[in-house]
Amino acid sequence: MKGAAVLVSLFMLVVVVVQLGEAINCGEVGGALGPCVPYLTQGGDPSGSCCDGVKKVVQLTPTQQDREDACECMKAAAARYSNLKPDAASNLPSRCGVTTAIPIISPTTNCKSVP
């Protein structure tokens, strides 16, 4: 009987942990990276709010699935901007002093390859 109580307690803990964890969504990604659009389309230097957004996305994507989901959001957003500068997109994380496993923002990125 004691083993059953431990098993039930463990199950309840797993349920609580799963409910607390939330998947990242495109609204969060878009909101965080919205300030980066001028840099990504015109070049120059990314703004402080852009870099804050990049850092926020990195914080919101601790797991591979989170990074894949964020990548898909960025891929969809990139497809809406025909004037996206690939060099600006590829340099954005380093220009903001951030390291991330999310690949270059591009409409053709294979998000399943995200580590």
> Mean pLDDT over residues 67-82, rounded?
91
CA 102, 31, 24: angle at the middle one, nearest 5? 50
State both tokens at 102.
């999310």
Q: State residue 37's pLDDT score.
A: 94
Terminal Cα-to-Cα distance of the chain (whole angstroms): 43
Q: State residue 31's pLDDT score.
A: 95
CA 115, 96, 54: angle at the middle one, nearest 5? 55
Residue 34 to residue 13: CA distance in whole angstroms: 37
pLDDT band with cut points at 50, 70 and 90 for residue 22: low
Residue 64 to residue 50: CA distance in whole angstroms: 23
Please write the tens of the pLDDT for every residue from 37-68.
Answer: 999 999 999 999 999 999 999 999 999 999 99
Q: Are 36 and 92 in contact (CB under 8 A)?
A: yes
Q: State residue 107's pLDDT score.
A: 77
- Which pTM value belongs to this model? 0.76
Please write the tens of the pLDDT for every residue from 80-104.
Answer: 888 999 889 889 999 999 998 887 6
pLDDT at 18 over 60: no
